[in-house]
Structure 1
Amino acid sequence: MKKSISICSICGVVLLLSLFVPFVSCIKQNGKNNPDFKSDSLVAHFDYFNYKGDDDFYKLNPLPDKDYYYNPILPGWYSDPSLCSNGKDFFLVTSTFSFFPGVPIFHSTDLVNWKQIGHVLNRPGQLPLDGQRVSEGIFAPAISYNPHNKTYYMVTTNIRKGNFFVKTTDPFGEWSDPISLPNVKGIDPSFFFDEDGKAYIVNNDVPDGGSQYEGHRAIRVLQFDVEKEETFGPSIMLVNGGVNLDEKPIWIEGPHMYKINGNYYLMCAEGGTSVNHREVIFKGDNPIGSFKPWAKNPMLTQRHLEPDRDLPITCAGHADLIKKENGEWWSVFLACRPIENKFENLGRETYLMPVKWSEDGFPYMTEGDELVPRIVEMKGLERDSMTTFGNFEKYDDFNAPVLGMEWMTLRGDASDLYSLTTDSGFLTLNCADVESSELKTPAFVSRRLQHHKFECKTCMYFKPQSEDESAGILLFKDETHQYLFSVGKKGAQNTISIKKIKENGADVIDSMNVEITDGPIEMKVISDGKNFSFYYAIGQSDWTLLSNSVDAYYLSTAQSYGFTGTNIGLYASKKSY
């Protein structure tokens, strides 16, 4: 039931409210900090945003002890994970495609308790994304530490601009402006810093003589001059096609090189990032020499398992390896956890599991019919209370001077389209002259979905002045797969509606005429994993169901396209669908 709290009662329940903030609705409506609707600019004010995960698996399968953790360790579309270590600290990055800021960076001292410390690409000058589709932009960032100059490097592909790297001596601080790599073609570059001080970049590119079939690619290596910050010498092909060219393998990519016990290892993904994804490993005598594949490849995959198995983990691959101080080897990689092999709304997430070693000296994560585990033990782990996995609740009252690190905008920082008023605690969105389906920067501030079952709530103050204006909650997969839950106007009547945004416009799923004053409009989205339900409340009224059984499959990668999962967030526009 919704709560109504008068001014005189607030003082008496301050302690109670501090404990149950996420359950309190729009308290500011009764205070002196109501937003002013008389300003010249048409805006939507959002009082708070609450996200609550409610997946059954976590409720039915509690962790047995403090030295266990859940996979994925980073739920939601934290794809293409890469990590490095300075011997004590671990740093991990993932892809962000056409969202801003780019490349979240996480810190840990044990590989399980991760805390986001910022974004590597947090300035517009580092991240030109104009006109790029959601699944373009930044691909497969790779982070490395060079102990010879105590510098961290992040190298990646901006799919419309080419390959580049940035660097820093303090990963908790700012990173450099981009340094272009014009001689590194293709995608997915990764640094390797050898023990002798020499440096190399491995990457995906076309094979010698060109591609012979669709998806035919190669892994190449170039030498890198650390002082001059440029590559030199020829681009040498290390792998042609994949493990076995006779089988016409596709999309060999995501390479990483390591030196372990005097041997050089080259690890790559094969098969594309869908259900045929797999990770393969090669061994060589030097970084630019001949690399031989492991006879028991792949070292990680789930592609051959029964698709109707319980709680499937699919698409496993694009891995990176790391060694702990105790000598254990571990791997991060991407994978999906769809419902019924159909609802892939969360995208490709980051998983962690231990590495085993074969008798002939190759690392691997799975063999035969082994499953990627959902619950994993790490002996000696001290799991803290701020873990990034499991069911959790996140409440943002927008009282901070900057947005939290989970929030993103599209193709730019959108600083001219939103503001945070710290004296009253609102996120204010200007109604932009941009629709969410355009390849521009809309007034859309969003976060990843991280659970199949969830509840999201917000409280909005908004009075549309024309039929072109709308504001509310947007569920966003890509330019042509969205659900817009918004307040708008039709003629002289205010409305609240659900619209299914598609390639050529939008269909109205449900709509209701509503009376809007200067008071609050609360909005709530509940997901059972397969369907969304949408609720609203005007002023102090109870929740009203606007629409239920809205198909979540429409926002699944299996239905649409692309490399991200679904985002949910706050939206305002003066170009109505």
Structure 2
Amino acid sequence: MRLPTASLAALLLAGSAHGADNPAASARFERFSYAGQTQERARPQPGEFVNPVLAGYYPDPSIVRAGDDYYMVASSFTNFPGLPVMHSKDLVTWTQVGNALDRPGQIDFTGVRGSQGIFAPDISYHDGRYYIITTCASCPGGVGNFIVTATNPAGPWSKPVTVQGLNGIDPSIFRDGEKMYVVHNDAPEGTPRYDGHRAIWITELDPASLQRIGKPKVLVDGGVDPKKNPIWIEAPHIFRKDGWYYLICAEGGTADNHSEVVFRSKDVMGPYVPGPVNPILTQRDLDPQRPNPVTTAGHAKFVQTQNGEWWAAFLATRPYPGNFYNIGRDTFLLPVTWKDGWPMILEQGKPIPYTHAKPNLPAQPAPAVPMNGDFAYVDEFDGPLSPGWMGLRTPRASVYDLKGGALVLHAGQPLGDLAGVPGFIGRRQQHHDATVSTVVDYAPQHDGDRAGLLAMQNDGAWMFLGLARVDGKRVVALYKSEGGKETLLGTAPAPDGRVELAMEMRGGQSAYRYRNGKDKGGQLKTLKTGVDVTFLSTQKAKGFVGVVVGPYVQANVVKQAAK
């Protein structure tokens, strides 16, 4: 796979203690393979597309059109590079072209937990320049809400400009002629009346300094029906159509009661009146026992095509039985219909379809690596890493090198050390039914040294399969960490030299296999099967991210150096 990115090899950095005199601190990976199948098995007819359009951990989508091109961004929390930027010409065929946060000097995630960091970005376009405004939750230095800009969505993007005094989350930018506004979620005026009581605010911005001017104003207090104590009004976006200003927001929280609602006004500063039919998107009223459900739908943004059609990008989830999902929240696409001046994404009581007629846009060729449906890819590590690779927290020294068709990965700080960066790079798990494999060459020197595949939901929830030193012996080992407690689930004598490793994820169950790396046609040996991995689900691990899986190395010498 050769999807180039801007010097990613110089970007994933860690405070590590690797070196030629420390063989345990580096491991060699020859390739990375991924193959996934959708559990819903949707079969589109000619002229249809498959939902979700971005499978797996791509939550909180924001979309913009610039001429005939469409760009989308999603939340990335403490993964780095962060703020993935996607491109499409037909709204259904997407390719990642870069990351808006791809340099250590832009952001600092030191001390930041996995589901903090970058929340709910919004992308907009004006007069040849792209803007992303987002929140850095719990980031050091008081970064808060900030804006980055670029003339090319693939990058480079500017250093963040913090919008001073702008609190809350989920900011978005609205342009009204030459005026620029930020609309966002924050606490209501006065004392909140109940848990989850929030408000939507608007403030004018200076287009030159990107700082607030004028007095902030509340547009919506609580939600559609304040008498019912609505919770977590958030993710606001304003757009103008036919002389009206429309405000769309998420309401109900990010779990099964998630929804999208709409208001409108004749003045950008309000007052805003709820639509006659709300919500305009939700799945909360459907039978939870329905097969292959789509749940937690909301957090939408609209885009109008060059042909006049309106479409909504929004997040939703596809749980496996038991209402668990390990892969995070997907990005879906549906048309927006208009009736009597009000928009509707999907009438209440209707399930989100897995297939739908395509937008009236020129058909595009299939991408080298699809972002939805059934797909597989292999990265041979024979060229620059694609922008889909990412690590955890902000790097400081090189965590890997690409040498002779292999990835040489260097140990960082142990998982759970929020002040450090682990020796890890990974890709999103995009299917509940997925197989991931690699070939690793590693010589552990001390008990606790290990290198192999890591499937991580957060610092305290992960599965590891690889070469390790246990009781003085080099073995194939399987570890899990649940709630931050590490457990060794099994070992087997390791073959000499290179070892092929395979993780097989099947919803809430998984299997772990291995074989001699030289024996390409040999049968994989089973180390452990039927392992319960529901603890990697959002419902148990908590937070907002999905599983990221990829090469990992940990060396005791690095742990000792950190003390």
- With normalisation by structure 1, the TM-score equals 0.89
Contact persistence 2:183–2:237 (CA under 8 A): yes
Give deviations 1:184-217, integer Å, cap 9, x for gaps: 11111100001x2111000001111131211110
* Shift in alpha-carbon separation, 1:317–1:379, aligned structure 2, 3 A: closer
Conservation of the 8 A alpha-carbon contact between 2:381 and 2:407? yes
Q: Please give the alpha-carbon distance, in whole angstroms, between the structure 1 residues aligned to 2:73 and 2:494.
A: 45
Partner of 1:419: 401
Please give the secondary structure, in 2, of the residue aligned with 1:559: helix
* Secondary structure in structure 1 of the residue aligned to 2:190: coil
Query: Is residue 245 of structure 2 the alignment partner of residue 264 of structure 1?
Result: yes
Cα shift readout 1:249-298 (whole Å, capped 9, x = no counterpart): 11111000000111000110011111010000000111112000112100
Q: Secondary structure at the match of 2:90?
A: coil
- CA apart distance, 1:226: 0.7
Task: Find the counterpart in structure 2 of residue 221 from structure 1.
Answer: 202
1:355 aligned onto 2:336: yes
Per-residue CA deviations over 1:369-390 (Å, capped at 9, x if unaligned) read: 1111101112545252224211
Counterpart Cα distance in 1 of 2:67 and 2:262: 24
* Amino acid aligned to 2:434: F
Which of residues 385, 390, 405 is equivalent to 2:373? Answer: 390
Tell whether the 8 Å contact from 2:402 to 2:408 is kept in structure 1 after alignment: yes
Quote the Cα distance in structure 2 between the aligned partners of 1:355 and 1:132. Answer: 37
Distance, in Å, in 2 between the alignment partners of 1:391 and 1:39 is 44
Q: Which one scores higher on RCO, CA 8 angstroms, separation ≥ 6?
A: 2
SS of match in other structure, 1:57: coil
SS at match of 1:155: strand
More displaced 10-residue stretch of structure 1: 484-493 or 543-552: 484-493
Distance (whole Å) between structure 1 residues aligned to residue 304 and residue 443 of structure 2? 56
Aligned-residue CA RMSD (Å): 1.8
Change in CA separation of 1:223 and 1:504 when aligned onto 2, cut-off 3 Å: closer
Separation of aligned partners in 1, 2:39 and 2:279: 32
Matched, 1:290 2:268: no
Aligned AA (2:443): K
Amino acid at match of 2:532: D
Among candidates 18, 22, 28, match of residue 45 of structure 1: 28
Mapped partners of 1:505, 1:429: distance in 2: 25
Do residues 106 (structure 1) and 48 (structure 2) align?
no
| CA shift in 2, pair 1:266/1:379, >3 Å | closer
Matches within 5 A, 1:554-569: 554-569=535-550
Q: Structure 1: how far apart are the matches of 2:171 and 2:131? A: 12
* Matching of residue 435 in structure 1 with residue 414 in structure 2: yes
Q: Match for residue 115 of structure 2? A: 135
Distance in 1, Cα, partners of 2:488 & 2:414: 16
Alpha-carbon separation, structure 1, partners of 2:103 and 2:20: 33
* Change beyond 3 A, Cα 1:572–1:307: same
2:316 pairs with 335, 341, 357, which one? 335
Secondary structure of 2:426's counterpart equals strand
Secondary structure of residue in 2 paired with 1:234: strand
Name the structure 1 match of 2:14.
none
Q: Which range moves more in the overlay, 381-390 or 210-219? A: 381-390
Aligned to 1:457: 437
CA pair 393-128 structure 1, distance change in 2 beyond 3 A: same
> 1:380–1:250: structure 2 CA closer, same or farther, 3 Å change rule?
closer
Structure 2: distance between partners of 1:213 and 1:118: 41
Partner of residue 378 from structure 1, selected from 346, 355, 358: 358
Residue 34 of structure 1 corresponds to none
1:83 to 55, 63, 68: 63
1:571 aligns with 2:546: no
Q: CA deviation at 1:491?
A: 3.0
- Structure 2 contact 279–348 (Cα < 8 Å) conserved: no
Partner deviation per Cα, 1:438-493 (whole Å, 9 max, x = no partner): 21210011111001111111000001111021111111011221111121112332
Give the drift of 1:574: 1.4
Contact 1:342 1:556 in 2 (8 A): no
Are the counterparts in 2 of residues 312 and 341 from structure 1 also a CA contact under 8 Å? no
Residue in 2 that maps onto 1:251: 232
Instruction: Give the equivalent residue in structure 2 for 1:171.
Output: 153
Partner of 1:29: none
Match of 2:53 in 1: 73
Q: Does 1:233 align with 2:214?
A: yes
Letter in 2 for 1:77: Y
Contact 1:283 1:294 in 2 (8 A): yes
Question: What's the counterpart of residue 6 of structure 1?
Answer: none
| Structure 2 residues not aligned, in runs of 5+ | 2-18
Q: Give the SS at the match of 1:131.
A: coil
Count of matched residue pairs: 529
TM-superposition CA deviations, 1:56-90 (whole Å, max 9, x none): 433xx43211x211110000110000011123211
Deviation of the 1:512 alpha carbon: 1.6
- Partners of 1:489 and 1:534 lie apart in 2 by 18
In the alignment, residue 151 of structure 1 is paired with which amino acid? R
**Structure 2 contact 117–137 (Cα < 8 Å) conserved:** yes
Q: Secondary structure at the match of 1:558?
A: helix
- Which residue among 434, 442, 448 is the counterpart of 1:468? 448
5+ residue gaps, structure 1 = 1-17, 19-36
Tell me, in whole angstroms, the C-alpha distance in 2 between the residues paired with 1:285 and 1:38: 68
Structure 1 residues 557 and 114, CA gap change in structure 2 (3 angstroms): same
Q: Is the 8 A contact 1:456 1:526 kept in 2?
A: yes
In structure 2, what is the equivalent of residue 11 of structure 1? none
- 2:474 counterpart of 1:494: yes
Partner of 1:201: 182
C-alpha separation in 2, matches of 1:314 and 1:558:
13
Q: 1:267 to 1:573 in 2, by over 3 A?
A: same
1:181 maps onto 2:160 in alignment: no
**2:77 alignment partner, SS class:** coil
1-side partners of 2:90 and 2:495: how far apart? 54
Residue 133 (structure 2) aligned to one of 144, 155, 174: 155
CA positional deviation for 1:235: 0.9
AA at the equivalent of 1:370: K
Alpha-carbon distance in 2 for matches of 1:107, 1:38: 41
What is the Cα deviation at residue 559 of structure 1? 1.5
Q: After alignment, is 528-537 or 69-78 more displaced?
A: 528-537
Identity %: 37
Query: Given the superposition, is the C-alpha separation of residues 383 and 171 from structure 1 closer, same or farther in structure 2, using an over 3 Å criterion?
Result: closer
Alpha-carbon distance in structure 1 between the residues aligned to 2:338 and 2:43: 30
Query: Following TM superposition, by how much is the alpha carbon of 1:504 offset from its aligned partner in structure 2, in angstroms?
Result: 4.4
The match for 1:547 is 528
Distance 2:73 2:486 in 1: 36
Amino acid at match of 2:319: P
Alignment of 1:455-534 (within 5 A): 455-516=435-496, 519-534=497-512
> Residue type matched to 2:35 in 1?
K
Corresponding letter in the other structure for 2:149:
K
* Alpha-carbon contact 1:431-1:469 (below 8 Å) kept: no
SS in 2 for 1:128: coil
Q: Distance in 2 between matches of 1:411 and 1:127?
A: 9
Which region of structure 1 is more displaced relative to structure 2, 174-183 or 406-415? 406-415
Q: If the length of structure 2 is used for normalisation, what is the TM-score?
A: 0.91
C-alpha distance in 2 between matches for 1:553 and 1:490: 27
User: Which residue is equivalent to 2:15?
Assistant: none
Q: Deviations over 1:335-381 (max 9, x none)?
A: 0000124221111110001011123x111111131111101112545
The answer to whether the 8 A contact 2:222-2:231 is kept is yes
Deviation of the 1:41 alpha carbon? 4.0
